[in-house]
Amino acid sequence: MEEAIKILPSTQWKSFNRARKYFKVYFLSHLLLADGCTVNPAVMNPTLSNHRYAGMRFPQERPTPEDFNLWTHTIRRITSSTLTISPPIGKYLRLCPEYLTWQTDSDNSYIVHRKNSTTFQVYYRIANLKGTRSQNTFQLHHTTTCPPPCSLTASVIPISRDIVTLHSVNTIEQDTTVHSVPFLTKLREGSPKHLWKGLQFDKDGEWVIQAIDNGSLLIAHDGSFMPQVDNTICAAGIVLLCTQTGHMGTIKLCERTNSLTASNYRGELLGGLITSHILRVASAYSSSTTATHIYCDNMGVIHHTSHPDASTSSKQPQADVLLAFTNNLKMSSLHWQYHHVLSHLDDTSDFKDLSLPEKLNVLADKLAKDALLEAIDKSQFCKPFYPNEHMRIVIDGEKVTATIKSTLYTSWGRRIARGLFARKEIIPAHLFELVNWTGLHLTIKTLPQMTQVWMTKHVSGTCATNKQLAKMDKNVIDKCQCCGRRNETVLHITRCPNKGRRLLFTQTTEELTSWMRRSYTHPEIVLAIGSYLRYRGRVTMKKICLEFPTLTQAAIETDLLGWRNFTEARLPHTLFSIQDAWLQTCGTRLTISSWTKQFLTRIINITRRQWLYRNAKIHIAHAEGIPFATHERIMNRTKSLMATDPMDLLPQHRSLLQVDYKTLGEGPTVDRQYWIACVESANMSKKRIRSSSKDEPNTSRKRSYLQ
């Protein structure tokens, strides 16, 4: 009766309670007759209250007329002005002595009133004036210790001391047929035991078949995925309810795969898979033609149920469970109907106000969440092996849960990469699996395409460093354009001592550390990575982490992989595991996957910005459209020509050396280019005349003539 407490001020609780105890009402169901919707007159009318029999003990109360008024008023508010509730509360879920006080047979030909455990009063129907049996009035006939058999509970309205009218009846229990192989045994057959650890059915579960036969079975299933807790697991909850007997069955399971497979959608499909397996097994027990109604809040799952024969695309995610799910539905001879139900309605409405399917969905959702948290707690997870799978493909020791094509590509790619990195002496083969490749893969997918191209060139060592260019073009000198050191390798990109490059390196490193501080990073990871970058990997991570025992293993592995792998975002798994555990203690919604992507992007950014700075120095056009290197060459040429001896030029050209050098130096490059061209041309003229005067003896005469 919490409903009454919710709507009444606390000052009226005492008064209301007096009436409640007087009428012997504890649950909402105590108010109602067997039809589940009509308020029993015996709990409204004080003169009829002696006819109430309750299995519970209530103290003696003497309510005042005001108490009764408040009671009547409140019950009307809880139910309706007509004293009925809609929809009905459903059938009795549990056997309760109270509901068995009045019973009748399936024909309602008599009513048995149980006075106590040994005394029963039998009422017979009174024929009406016309002698027909249309009237539901019964009169006390005799008292006995051995009552006739009854199969239904009854609600009666007392008319007088010995006369009652039958209001409504309800089922007591269903008879169940005992099958040679029990249904639940058959359900478990051929599948791993762990799959059914979370199965709980009322009684022996045979009622499921009866409920299918009667068309009274409802099933709801839901999935759960909490990547912030563990992104490699997902769970499912399945609820079965017989609306006639109130019998319930629940199944919950939590499966561990990997971060690329586990998802909310997979959780939903697991629920569907188990549900469809139930239908498939049950079809060997029942030939019912009435539909079993199934409720699910995922439109994707419902879509697949409407096309169970559709071929599965090679790119279909979760193909393993989806195929088993749709195949079970195809193979079941029973009729079923999938319905969409809105999820999480209990967030916005009271549970009691929800429809039965919505309530079942809420229960299934809760079951799935429980399964997930319980599995983590016990560290016990199901393997992705299910009944009726046509085939299981195992690659590298793991079952293929995504598309076969992409799994094969990934596996093949891993093998090729392992060989390539080993051949290029970037990562020895035995250290290959230390790297968090999954995190790196997810990160690279989020980068712009041109950055991905650069990454490929940089990692493979084919980017246009002067070391590479010098191999192809003998005019290129293998030295760094920024610091002038010889041998510009890929490694030099992150270790160039040029002042500008050092400044940029510090800036990008600080950007990373300040992001780490803002983003719930383990404080020791912030310090360790900050120091490692500051020393440019020349001090080992192990030495840096001497004071941080948590990071010892991660530090050893980082050192094994080395500086180059670090600056190209190939970091060990262990580091991310420590961060993952840390995130879970922070109570943040930031997932390890999201943290990894942002962290590795910033690491890659440190190296990329060095490369861009280097290129700006060599290639990037200035405002005048001239590359920096060309600009410098022009400046240098101008400087060297300024030192030309005027006597090396013909007299008519000597004025070229009398320009305002300050203006020339500060002015546009084109002026310098023009001046260089003039001086070089003047030089050439002088040289030509000098050489021709050597060849021809009468040159001096000609020249004097010319002059």
Which residues of this chain interact with Zn ion, rule CB under 5 A? Answer: 480, 482-483, 496
Closest to Zn ion by CB, 334 or 480: 480
State the nearest-atom distance from the C-beta of 491 to Zn ion, in Å.
Answer: 11
In whole angstroms, how close is the CB of 320 to Zn ion at the nearest point? 52
- What does the block give as tokens for 671? 């002026």
To Zn ion, the closest distance from the beta carbon of 564 in angstroms equals 16
Shortest reach from residue 490's CB to Zn ion, in Å: 12
240: which 2 tokens?
């079965």
Q: What 3 state SS string does 514-581 have?
A: HHHHHCCCCHHHHHHHHHHHHCCCCCCHHHHHHHCHHHHHHHHHHHHHHHHHHHCCCCEHHHHHHHHH
Closest alpha carbon to 593 in 234, 245, 227: 227
Cα 411 to Cα 401: distance, rounded to the nearest angstrom: 13
Query: 621-629 contacts: CB < 8 A, separation 24 or more?
Result: 624/668, 624/669, 624/670, 626/669, 629/481
Of 215 and 497, CB closest to Zn ion: 497
What is the nearest approach in angstroms of Zn ion to the Cβ of residue 488? 7
Rounded Cα gap, residues 96 and 118, in angstroms: 17
**CB–CB of 274/407 below 8 Å?**
no
SS3 303: helix
Whole-number minimum distance, CB 632 to Zn ion, in Å? 16
CA angle 681–685–687, rounded 5-degree value:
115
Q: Given the complex with Zn ion, which of 96 and 483 has the nearer CB atom? A: 483
CA–CA separation, 657 and 646 (whole Å): 7
Nearest to Zn ion of 322, 480 (CB atom) = 480
Nearest CA to 576 out of 648, 617, 539, 521 is that of 521
Q: Which is nearer to Zn ion, 42 or 496 (CB)?
A: 496
Rounded least distance, CB 497 to Zn ion, Å: 6
Of 83 and 480, CB closest to Zn ion: 480
For Zn ion, the closer CB: 522 or 617: 617
Q: How far apart are CA 673 and CA 677, in angstroms?
A: 6
Nearer residue to Zn ion within complex by CB, 4 or 482: 482
Residue 597 vs 614, nearer CB to Zn ion: 614
For residues 209 and 463, which CB has a smaller minimum distance to Zn ion in the complex?
Answer: 463
Report residue 450 as tokens: 């041109």
Distance separating the N- and C-terminal Cα atoms of the chain = 126
Please give the Cα distance from 538 to 142 (Å, whole number). 103
Task: State which residue, 478 or 671, has the beta carbon closest to Zn ion.
Answer: 478
- Please report how close the Cβ of residue 496 comes to Zn ion at its closest, in angstroms: 3
CA 424 vs CA 410, 452, 468: distances in Å: 21, 20, 15
CB of 473 to Zn ion, least distance (A): 19
Burial status of residue 211 (CB atoms within 10 A of its CB: 0-12, 13-18, 19 or more): buried
Cis (ω within 30 of 0) for the bond into 87?
yes
Nearer to Zn ion, 48 or 469 (CB): 469
Give the residue among 398, 432, 388 at the shortest CA–CA distance from 192.
388
CB of 493 to Zn ion, least distance (A): 8
User: Please, what is the minimum distance in Å from the beta carbon of residue 271 to Zn ion?
Assistant: 60
Q: Are strands 120-125 and 110-114 parallel, antiparallel or unpaired?
A: antiparallel
Residue 322 CB, shortest distance to Zn ion, in Å, is 55
Long-range contacts of 634-642 (CB under 8 A, 24+ apart): 634/669, 634/672, 634/673, 634/676, 635/665, 635/672, 637/676, 638/664, 638/665, 638/672, 638/675, 638/676, 641/675, 641/676, 641/679, 641/680
- 439, 598 contact by CB (below 8 A): no
Query: 483 or 526, CB closer to Zn ion?
Result: 483
Q: Which SS3 state, helix, strand or coil, does residue 241 take?
A: strand
Nearer to Zn ion, 617 or 653 (CB): 617
Cβ closest to Zn ion, residue 154 vs residue 496: 496
Please say which residue, 589 or 619, places its beta carbon nearer to Zn ion.
Answer: 619
The least CB distance from residue 486 to Zn ion, in Å, is 10
Least spacing, CB of residue 492 vs Zn ion, in Å: 6
State the nearest-atom distance from the C-beta of 464 to Zn ion, in Å: 15
Give the separation between CA 203 and CA 671, rounded to whole angstroms. Answer: 100
CA pair distance 100, 55, nearest whole angstrom: 10
| Amino acid identity for residue 662 in this structure | K
Nearest approach, Cβ of residue 474 and Zn ion (Å) = 21
Helix-helix angle 592-618:552-567, to 10 degrees: 40
